[in-house]
Amino acid sequence: MKYEVGDDIIVLLSNEEGKVVEIMNDKMVMIEIRGVKFPAYMDQIDFPYFYRFSKKKVEESQKSKKVYVDNIPKEKPKPNEVKVADGVWLRFIPQFELDDFNDEVVELLKIHLVNNTTKAYSFDYSQSFFNEESFQLKNEILPFHDFYLHDISFASVNDSPTFTVDFSLMSKEKNKASHFETHLKLKPKQIFNRIEELIDAFMKSMKLDLSKTEYKTVSEYNEYIYGSADVVGLMCLKVFVKGDDKKYDLLKESAMRLGSAFQKVNFLRDLKADFEDLNRTYFPNTDLSKLDEKSKLKIIEEIEADFDAGYEGLILLPIEAKFGVYTAYSYYKKLLAKLKNTPSAEIKNTRIRVSNYQKYGLFAKCYFSYKLNII
């Protein structure tokens, strides 16, 4: 065996260094990098000193070659870091504390002014409750910078807080106004109504599991999936985009389709338990007692269309959310591929699963795709 537990290693694709913490089999090991454990194929890692030695040898061999002035290629300009200019924003970041029952509750909202533009501004910011000023600040914010303003208690959201910002360009420009004033008034009833709508839809579908055993129409089927899966995708999306309504509206259809795909895969692989043990039928216009290849492939085509639509939104997610969602997407796609290749008669008699070995491989592949930004 090339590696042993405790060996220092380097990940070849990302140059990150870590340790071997477990030998999984003759092809894979569990490694730990900065406190995070994940599986890796042995051909994707190496010993750091071997890597450094071989790299040094290559560099030395390159240095030893004579290079004449006429042969030196012209240096190409390197692009600056990509920054998306999408405006100036107020960002509200919840701060959690533990209550008497050891549950996390939001106590404070930290308020930041975010300048995602190429312009620098001076600003006059004020915040009030019921038209009475509570906080005021004058300062400057540079291009593509984040400025912490102050905190408000979460409970005070019920007091209709109003936020006012008067912006002035720090460098005057011809044909542009010298300043611009904008207002934002939080309407807690509207905010919590949206959340409550999602929760109500979820609870409605969960209650149906207590009594309803057959979904005879496409409308019933779609309504159940919306409440049991789509709204979960929407709740997660709300967190992933950090409350950015513009991005939420852009990605919500994809989030719902991905939630639908996951749920329909679960329906298909749990067909035996649902149909035989619970006498439950989710797929409308399908006789599960006589499930044939034609009916199975029709269901799978529907799921594949959901996956395609979901992936279009997945690639637009913020980077910090993309890895987790992509891993779940890859796992369910693998599960769907196995279902597609499994005869319909076998699906009715056994629960199809992805082996732990394949899960480790999927996880490793997703991790490296994420680190290399090729998702």
DSSP-derived 3-state class of residue 170: coil
Q: Which of 145, 166, 186 is the last residue of a domain?
A: 186
In a domain, 120, yes or no: yes
Q: At 8, which amino acid appears?
A: D
Distance (Å, whole) CA 196 – CA 199 = 5
pLDDT score of 215: 93
Residues 350, 286, single domain; the answer is yes
Nearest to 259 by CA among 282, 288, 226: 226
Residues 180, 221, single domain; the answer is no
Alpha-carbon dihedral sign for residues 331, 337, 341, 342: positive
Give phi and psi for 315, each to the nearest 5.
-70, -10
pLDDT at 78 > cutoff 60? no
**Lowest mean pLDDT across 85-94, 260-269, 336-345:** 85-94
Residues 342, 303, single domain; the answer is yes
Residue 166 pairs with which residues in a beta bridge?
124, 181
Residues 148, 241, single domain; the answer is no
pLDDT at 194 > cutoff 90? no
Distance (Å, whole) CA 249 – CA 207 = 28
Mean pLDDT of 285-296: 86
Mean pLDDT of 258-280: 91
pLDDT at 166 > cutoff 90? yes
DSSP-derived 3-state class of residue 126: strand
Residues 340, 203, single domain; the answer is yes
In a domain, 230, yes or no: yes
pLDDT at 111 > cutoff 80? yes
Write out pLDDT tens, residues 129-153: 988 999 999 999 999 899 999 999 9
At 364, the pLDDT band (50, 70, 90 cuts) reads confident
Domain encompassing residue 272 = 190-371
Nearest to 331 by CA among 349, 312, 356: 356
pLDDT score of 345: 86
Write out pLDDT tens, residues 225-259: 999 999 999 999 988 987 788 899 999 999 999 99
Q: How many domains does the chain have?
A: 3
DSSP string, 132-167: EEEEEEEEEE-TTEEEEEEEEEGGGGGG-EEEEEEE
pLDDT score of 371: 77
Mean pLDDT of 187-193: 65
Quote the tokens at residue 146.
């984040």
pLDDT at 25 > cutoff 90? no
